[in-house]
Structure 1
């Protein structure tokens, strides 16, 4: 007996038996709805074949000839149909072969493919099966108010017109699209097309206004400044903004106004009173299953009326306006019970392009408008015993020349070395580290409104170097701090961070060397 091929099979003995026609089989009114948030499952519909009850004629089946197949290999077809060859077969056996082949398509990820038994007579043991693989002839998107239809289409190539839906790819792409924002959920619905063998796809979009904000109150203050800081954020995250046609590249424009000599807005720290307007072009790079990365390129226009007096190595408290050019590579690696995030990139000033020699010279001794420094950080989180969390952070900066204080690396404070005031020391070359252990969450034992509640212990350290210090000025500094803290999130919109830290290395007598309580409360909407 020869092996089964896509179009021809074994030649049997010459026999002739009538086979009751079963007709063309196709979906008539079945809707296939796939709900896929973070990788869901597809929901298919099986349509039973209706036919007249066949007379129990028996016949020889020595060969199945399959037409219309482009998806399965000959081996896959052979494995499905070989058990249904032989003597004394009935119409039920042919139907079983049809179902077996159709199931093979489903197992391969193609649930829209249908196998039919055309009207025929069995001649010489040959039975014909035809396949309708279900190509998409139209794709419609309904319900999207705030997100680009073109962008949604572009991120779902598995559902493009002319494609045959491969469900693992559809699930992956829908899941990835839904994970990009909490303001949008997309559900695909597949229906039979007007032409037999085709499908119509409808993407049902349920979205909300992608406008969000946050109000934050903290005591992240520097020396000789008021204790409390109030900041606000407003974010529009719709995809109608600054996307490049045919590309994944995204342009972002942002602005910051700082009325404090040291300001913290989320993870952004600003040194000096003034304004910043920034532009970033962000290019997502090809991800893998556990590795996600991107490249960003842009610039910041900075206008500071004054800077922190007597910090860093600025000689005078003078205003300055300049442009900082930056590039950054960012990546996230996810593993079993662990994740690692890193970023690394250069920052450059260019003489004559928004940067004035005189302003830099007045600002700091030997400061240049054409400066360069490299800044990076890496953070590793590992789930430890009983859902506790171990965090290790390392960050730093390396410069080629003395920098003005606005571009120096700041150490000290709630997001740096706890136990010290914000930006307690500034440096041109800096290395900073954190080791932190958080307890398992107590949230489940307290209230369903509390999402997460953990206690923690930590130790922070930083070493700083100032290039070309002024006479009588120190060039090297060390900061060490340790303490305990609390992290709380709950009531859907509230986050609270509290740290109590002790400085392990005292600074000079003019500084506050006592224990510090750092807190931050944030309300989001």
Structure 2
């Protein structure tokens, strides 16, 4: 190839190379452990290690299970009722009236001591019917029982009151002593690899004094939702010591080890759309709920490896995680394969996530992460064949073709669910820092930026196995972004009907609606086939006059898909999308429709 011809090809494929710069920076996503939690995202849409559709560094290795995490969808079966998790203790009945004891005393007031949860005014109202009049000894016992009943009615079933026998009644005031219940011990049985302290710490916090049964039940329900626990039951019994109780919990562990494989055509054609992937996952590596994952994915033009480790740091499911990924890519699509374009990317991220509010049906969590992204792009010299650094203008790379981003992120996640609906929201602020050698360019985008990403998902069960799913992604930036941080539109996970990442933009909005309608059930094999009509729409724009998009900024497509779910082992999906708008070289109409598929399986 002559140099003149070579330069012409470079001018013709500028936009193509910009797309590849982003592809070279992509890293592996993690498969969520779930919680699937009270609430998840992501693992659900947004829980702890869910695939983050907002982070363009993490979309390559899609989880072998459905992209919408299982626990984001409403459960077919409700949580076990409280009486199955923890049989309610039977409070002592008030003592019978004792007419045989003669004598009366006049009581002006009762002094209740030992209470830490109720005010004097609240307790005075309870004993008021027995004051300012002569009362019998039996009525004194009834006043004591009224205080006990007040505790029990407010959930403190193991607390009680008594009248000290050796007291001296002064100024017509009778003392009632309260013993607030507490846990003497928590005994865990049935666990094998899971350390008893993992369960005990989560229950100890809920069983703090004074012991409130409803609070303890909620903690048991949260454990029932934990992916490390398949089932549990508990029994609360009285100890030999007054006011103390024993909690015995029988745990059945879930299988924490899995191997997942997947096939799909959800990658960019430039590096090969057909993708193979495998992930090995252990959610309880050393016995205290620490999760480790190793994943590998490849296409005909790319190879990617991802390693992550997450460890719980407190009883409220706060976690610290480290993730590293590296990807090698080359363009194989004609005629651009003649340029021998190659890219290498690395991503290292350290994250802390802390749930602030955790209930069986909702969760609010905050997250803080610090990450480093690096990518480099090169081409082959047309004369010598040697690799040449390729600093493509507008991609955010420096003069040597490298892009380096040091990023600080602050995330907020909220999930709320009931038996029919799930709402999951995620917000994330990302700040590109001028630190650790981050790319600093005078004119083109570089490593300094500020942006906000948002993600929302709403699921509603219309009938058994019939769901409506709405989802949306947004991104808004304060300045032109490097390709590492841009928002992608088009493809099987975005606007179906267009090629993967057809548009890479600074600001973007994506929305999708679909209905999953069952058309075939195989009861014996627990299989179900859905037909899935869908509508997708996306809009994107760039910041800066010299970065305008050629053609329409709007992608609009619709179509129909089939989704097969076999137990929790295999999920397969086939989507046929028809573009309704013309964008750049992409035409609209049935003749330009696209088919996307994915098959994901959990081997064991």
Q: Same fold (TM over 0.5)?
A: yes
Asked whether 1:277 is paired with 2:348, we answer yes
Query: After the TM superposition, which residues 196-345 of structure 1 pair with which residues of structure 2 at under 5 Å, given as runs?
Result: 196-208=242-254, 210-238=256-284, 239-240=289-290, 241-244=310-313, 249-259=318-328, 274-286=345-357, 290=362, 292-304=364-376, 314=395, 320=402, 322-334=404-416, 337-345=420-428
Partner Cα distance (1:421, 1:242) in 2? 38
Asked whether 1:135 is paired with 2:182, we answer yes
8 Å contact from structure 2 (residues 433, 448) kept in 1: yes
Instruction: Report what 2:225 is aligned to.
Output: 179
Which one is further off, 223-232 or 143-152?
A: 143-152
Partner Cα distance (1:195, 1:510) in 2? 77
Partner Cα distance (1:273, 1:69) in 2? 67
8 Å contact from structure 1 (residues 396, 431) kept in 2: yes
Deviation at 1:368, TM superposition (A): 3.6
Which one is further off, 211-220 or 330-339?
A: 330-339
CA RMSD of aligned residues (A): 5.0
2:592 alignment partner, SS class: coil
8 Å contact from structure 1 (residues 253, 280) kept in 2: yes
Superposition TM-score, scaled by structure 1 size: 0.69
Q: Label 1:478 to 1:273 Cα distance change in 2 as closer, same or farther (>3 A).
A: farther
Asked whether 1:158 is paired with 2:206, we answer yes
Partner Cα distance (2:106, 2:518) in 1? 64
Larger Rg: 1
State which of 480, 491, 504 in structure 1 corresponds to 2:556: 480
Q: Label 1:452 to 1:284 Cα distance change in 2 as closer, same or farther (>3 A).
A: farther
8 Å contact from structure 1 (residues 419, 482) kept in 2: yes
| Number of equivalent positions | 467
Question: Deviation string for 1:383-415 (max 9, x for gaps)?
Answer: 375465443333233334443333322111011
Asked whether 1:106 is paired with 2:106, we answer no
Query: After the TM superposition, which residues 376-455 of structure 1 pair with which residues of structure 2 at under 5 Å, given as runs?
Result: 376-381=453-458, 383=460, 386=463, 388-434=466-512, 436-442=513-519, 445-447=521-523, 449-450=525-526, 453-455=529-531
Which one is further off, 248-257 or 97-106?
A: 97-106
| Structure 1: runs of 5 or more not aligned | 1-35, 263-270
Superposition TM-score, scaled by structure 2 size: 0.62
Of structures 1 and 2, the one with the larger relative CO (CA 8 A, separation 6+) is 2
8 Å contact from structure 1 (residues 465, 476) kept in 2: no
State which of 476, 484, 498 in structure 1 corresponds to 2:574: 498
| Structure 2: runs of 5 or more not aligned | 1-77, 291-309, 332-341, 380-389
8 Å contact from structure 1 (residues 314, 405) kept in 2: yes
Instruction: Report what 1:517 is aligned to.
Output: 595
Deviation at 1:260, TM superposition (A): 5.2
Q: Label 1:468 to 1:109 Cα distance change in 2 as closer, same or farther (>3 A).
A: closer
Partner Cα distance (2:548, 2:103) in 1? 104
8 Å contact from structure 2 (residues 355, 363) kept in 1: no
Deviation at 1:235, TM superposition (A): 3.6
Q: Label 1:335 to 1:250 Cα distance change in 2 as closer, same or farther (>3 A).
A: closer
Instruction: Report what 1:15 is aligned to.
Output: none
Deviation at 1:188, TM superposition (A): 4.4
Instruction: Report what 2:539 is aligned to.
Output: 463
